[in-house]
Amino acid sequence: MQTQISNKYNTKGILFDLVLYISVMFLVREIYFPNIGFIANGLFWSFTTLVVAMWRMKARGITWKDLGLCKSKSIKKTILALGFILVFVPVSIVIFEIIKDSLPFLIAPDTSEESVVSKFGNLKGNWILFFSIIPFILIESMLEELLDRGFLMNWFERLFSKVSYSTILAVILQAVIFGFRHSYDFSERSITVGLIGLIMGIAYMAFGRNLWPLIIAHCIFNTMSMVDRVI
């Protein structure tokens, strides 16, 4: 599959795609419709970015199936990828929490708890609110995997295809963008989200480039995070 994809790319074309895609990804977030709420705005941002990704994929003759949105060829690899993510995401975050105060640079505090209330409302004990918004949270979870791991990481890998560590660069760069996009600063939140993106990227590359384990894991983490705010 990788050979098939690489034959459809050229460096100038992929650079154009990435500049356009990343510009839209960030600039569209400057548009906010206060009357429809954060969730609807978030889906608007993601679907807008998805349209750009699909446009550039069509131009390159690439499908989501080529990028891993397909039936797994190995159930064993799928289970291993899912298990890898479910284990190493919390482990990496715990390690960061242990060492963050001893790091030789300043990190802004995590204000995500306050932002959750402002974005979703007071979820404490409110299961009706939880069940009304969780379908949209799961859709957003899937979109993030398609966009960040499916499109962005593969395009980065092709951009650096002439160097031997192109895959490593792709995994790291998408994780940095993924973390920054969730916080827009150098904070505990941007780092923890970046770590999640890093583990997701490693799992994608190491276990057969299938997006479904990543989507499932992302949905599980977001569901657990929302449940934790309800109980």
Distance CA 196, CA 219 (A): 13
Q: pLDDT class for 112, splitting at 50, 70, 90?
A: low
| Single pTM value for the model | 0.91
Query: 146 or 124: which carries more pLDDT confidence?
Result: 146
Mean local confidence (pLDDT), 210-222: 97
For residue 116, is pLDDT > 80? Answer: no
Q: pLDDT class for 3, splitting at 50, 70, 90?
A: very low
Instruction: Tally the C-alpha atoms within 13 A of residue 128's C-alpha that lie toward its C-beta.
Output: 0
Mean local confidence (pLDDT), 174-201: 94
Residue 124 is predicted with a pLDDT of: 87
Mean pLDDT of the chain: 91
Question: Residue ranges of the domains in the chain?
Answer: 2-230
Distance CA 145, CA 200 (A): 9
Please report, for residues 88, 91, 145, 161, the alpha-carbon distance to residue 193 in angstroms, rounded to integers and kept in the order given.
Answer: 13, 13, 13, 26
Whether the CA torsion 13, 19, 25, 27 is positive or negative: it is: negative
- Asked whether the beta carbons of 216 and 222 are under 8 A apart, the reply is no
Note the pLDDT tens digit of each residue in 18-58: 999 999 999 999 999 988 889 999 999 999 999 999 999 99
Note the pLDDT tens digit of each residue in 66-109: 999 998 888 999 999 999 999 999 999 999 999 998 988 888 77
Residue 114 is predicted with a pLDDT of: 54
Cα–Cα–Cα angle for 150, 151, 154, rounded to 5 degrees: 85
2 phi, psi to nearest 5 deg? -65, -40
